[in-house]
């Protein structure tokens, strides 16, 4: 377990590049199990979650080259087992994405309860309902045990929840079910669209990507494909907030402007000077002002993955901001630690927090309880007077590669202690 030591109060400046979207990399890697052909992915983020998924693929029989680099090659002529290692599954929420490919290639799947952030509060009922509609039978037991006695069959399904990974699970299974499937109330996030594009390259017919109704013409003869991942707009937004809370000036390279539009809109409401020019998102020194009210939403609403970071930004903005994350509650609980840094926060309930700024934060020991709030606390420590300790750093490194090196390149005074 590692601790990040941070001496705050420095204005960060420079340039930083983002790699592919974590939330795209995991479903695309899972999709490589659908075919015996070779799949090549470029601009893959060098993060621990990707390494865990690659280890899961290897354990299931895939040959994986390039782990730890931005180009990964996967070839799986035969899936040799239907039950991934429970210890690895327990480290990765995205392991649930293996269910569809395992049912397609093996006819059965056994999956231990997936881990990741808040595993006890995040069910996979939407995923299971989608698979059952395609012919899967769920057996009782402590693990998720599914079989398809007659193979995967096309379906027409309405998702009770517009879950991103639930939609991706349905897409992965439908792509291997010969015939026409339709998914309604589907998630519209860019990483769902990116999975659709990759499945099309593999031979599935897909229309409606990016809308709430997706149609899939599945096939049992999916082929290998090559794809370059789009830049991670969540990570780009994180670096933009780091610039804003430290009064700095940072150019963020690699994310698409159409993905960053939702982030840019909220930052401008908070008086942050920022703009997109091609693949460069620039944040300039600003005087943050309260936004009044920020509410998360399904795409193209403000993403829940950035709500922790924008809450930190609100502590540095003049006035009062109500932050409302109706999707997840425990992220806001993690931010109660900001009160110990002299932040003025009032937690109304598990989904709403009122932040009054501007307050000069003070360094302290911080607990990175989940990936996104962990990065938010690092941003708070960078803006604070004195020294902070963020532990465990591994929680944040699940989604932010070479984090220490990039912070130092921007002028941050940080060190990693094992």
Cβ–Cβ under 8 Å, residues 403 and 48: no
Structure tokens at 160: 């009770």
What gap in Å lies between CA 228 and CA 45, rounded to an integer?
11
What gap in Å lies between CA 38 and CA 26, rounded to an integer?
17
**Sign of the dihedral through C-alpha 366, 396, 323, 15:** positive
Alpha helices in 181-277 (DSSP H): 190-201, 233-245, 257-269
What DSSP designation does 27 have? H
How far, rounded to the nearest angstrom, does the alpha carbon of residue 262 sit from its chain's CA centroid?
16
Cβ–Cβ under 8 Å, residues 32 and 76: yes
Q: 3-class DSSP state for residue 330?
A: helix
Q: 3-class DSSP state for residue 39?
A: strand
Cβ–Cβ under 8 Å, residues 324 and 351: yes
Q: 3-class DSSP state for residue 169?
A: helix
Give the residue numbers marked as catalytic.
Answer: 117
- Nearest CA to 98 out of 49, 128, 56 is that of 56
What gap in Å lies between CA 275 and CA 282, rounded to an integer?
5
Length of the chain, in residues: 418
């Amino acid at each position: 377990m590692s601790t990040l030591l941070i001496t705050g109060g420095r204005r960060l400046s420079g340039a930083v590049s983002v790699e592919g979207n974590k939330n795209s990399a995991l479903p695309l890697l899972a999709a490589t199990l659908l075919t015996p052909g070779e799949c090549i992915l470029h601009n893959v983020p060098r993060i621990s979650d990707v390494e865990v998924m690659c280890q899961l693929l290897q354990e299931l029989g895939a040959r994986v080259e390039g782990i730890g680099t931005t180009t990964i090659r996967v070839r799986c002529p035969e899936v040799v087992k239907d039950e991934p290692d429970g210890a690895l599954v327990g480290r990765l929420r995205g392991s649930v994405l293996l269910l569809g490919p395992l049912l397609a290639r093996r006819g059965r799947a056994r999956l231990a309860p997936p881990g990741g952030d808040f595993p006890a509060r995040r069910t996979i009922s939407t995923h299971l309902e989608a698979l059952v509609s395609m012919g899967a039978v769920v057996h009782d037991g402590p693990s998720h045990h599914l079989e398809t006695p007659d193979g995967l069959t096309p379906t027409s399904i309405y998702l009770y929840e517009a879950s991103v990974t639930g939609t991706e699970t349905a897409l992965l299974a439908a792509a291997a079910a010969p015939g026409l499937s339709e998914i309604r109330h589907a998630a519209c996030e860019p990483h769902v669209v990116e999975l659709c594009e990759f499945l099309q390259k593999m031979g599935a017919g897909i229309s409606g990507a990016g809308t709430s109704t997706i149609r899939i013409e599945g096939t049992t003869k999916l082929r290998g494909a090559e794809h370059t991942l789009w830049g991670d707009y969540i990570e780009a937004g994180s670096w933009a907030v780091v610039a804003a809370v430290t009064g700095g000036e940072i150019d963020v390279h690699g994310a698409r402007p159409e993905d960053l539009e939702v982030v840019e809109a909220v930052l401008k409401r908070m008086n942050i000077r920022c703009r997109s020019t091609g693949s460069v998102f620039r944040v300039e020194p600003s005087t943050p002002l309260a936004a009044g009210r920020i509410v998360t939403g399904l795409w193209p609403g403000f993403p829940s993955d950035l709500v922790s970071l924008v809450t930190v930004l609100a502590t540095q903005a003049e006035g009062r901001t109500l932050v409302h994350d109706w999707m997840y509650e425990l992220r806001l609980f993690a931010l109660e630690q900001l009160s110990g840094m002299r932040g003025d926060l009032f937690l109304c309930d598990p989904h709403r927090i009122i932040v009054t700024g501007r307050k000069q934060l003070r360094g302290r020991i911080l607990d990175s309880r989940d990936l996104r709030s962990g990065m938010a606390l690092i941003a708070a420590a960078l803006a604070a007077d004195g020294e902070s300790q963020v532990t465990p750093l591994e929680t944040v490194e699940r989604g932010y590669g070479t984090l220490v090196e990039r912070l130092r390149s921007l002028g941050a005074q940080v060190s990693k202690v094992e």
